[in-house]
Amino acid sequence: MRKWQREVLATAPGVHAAIVRTISELRRLPLTGDQPLFVVLSREQAKLSYRWSPGSTRAAGNRGRPAVERRGRRAAATPLLSACFEPVLDDEGLPLEQELERKKQRCGACGDPLWQADRTGPRRFPLADYIGRRLPGSFDLLIVDEQHECAPRGAMN
């Protein structure tokens, strides 16, 4: 980010360039004035989202009911079930246990999320959403480096 700030200042004399990492830093910027302002955001901060964790799934028992603990053990290797009691499987029919922690997944049967918001830790909010909602019209131009890394899946097809 410092590289972008240096490049802006070197190629466009008489401008102000600021690196912004938080909403507080964004609020302190002089958004109106005689000097053009360049705001540099990292893509991680621009699209940062809330924390999440895998949602509650349950191991299958008899007839789709949750498994019960028996003598301190769980029922023998049974697949995880979603809220609709359908097995949580990937495209190949294999259990999704470890993928649930790496990527937000949805139930293939009912579409319910298999993740939940995690309220522990610091609150996070994407700066791009804040700019779009709270500062409309404050910026005249958006320059995005490596746009293909920011685009949603399937947008470049």
Residue 153's pLDDT is 53
Q: Averaging pLDDT over each range in 39-43, 54-58, 105-109, which range is the top one?
A: 39-43
Size of the chain, expressed as the number of residues it contains: 157
The answer to whether residue 155 is domain-embedded is: no
The answer to whether residue 156 is domain-embedded is: no
Q: Averaging pLDDT over each range in 62-66, 68-72, 89-93, 143-147, which range is the top one?
A: 89-93
Residues 42 and 25 grouped into a single domain: yes
Residues 101 and 64 grouped into a single domain: yes
Q: Which DSSP state fits 149?
A: G
Judged by average pLDDT, the poorest of 26-35, 64-73, 116-125 is: 64-73
The answer to whether residue 157 is domain-embedded is: no
Residues 67 and 114 grouped into a single domain: yes
Q: What is the mean pLDDT of the chain?
A: 75
155: number of CA atoms within 13 Å, CB side? 7
For residue 66, pLDDT over 50 is answered with: no
Residues 68 and 111 grouped into a single domain: yes
Judged by average pLDDT, the poorest of 6-15, 36-45, 60-69, 113-122 is: 60-69
The answer to whether residue 154 is domain-embedded is: no
Average pLDDT score over residue span 28-42: 85
For residue 91, pLDDT over 70 is answered with: yes
The answer to whether residue 13 is domain-embedded is: yes
Average pLDDT score over residue span 122-151: 77
- Specify whether the CB–CB gap between 107 and 83 falls below 8 A: yes
Non-local (6+) Cβ contacts of 12 within 8 A are 36, 38
pTM for the whole structure: 0.52
Q: What would the DSSP string read from start to end of 28-97?
A: TS--SSSS-EEEE--HHHHS----EEE---EEB-GGGPBP--BTTBPPSS--EE-TTS-B-B-TTS-B-T
Residues 110 and 60 grouped into a single domain: yes
Residue 29's domain spans which residues?
2-49+124-149
Residues 20 and 40 grouped into a single domain: yes
For residue 105, pLDDT over 90 is answered with: no
Residues 91 and 111 grouped into a single domain: yes
Tokens representing 83 are 């809220």
Burial class (CB in 10 A: 0-12, 13-18, 19+), 101: exposed
Number of separate domains in the chain:
2
Q: Which has more pLDDT, 2 or 85?
A: 2
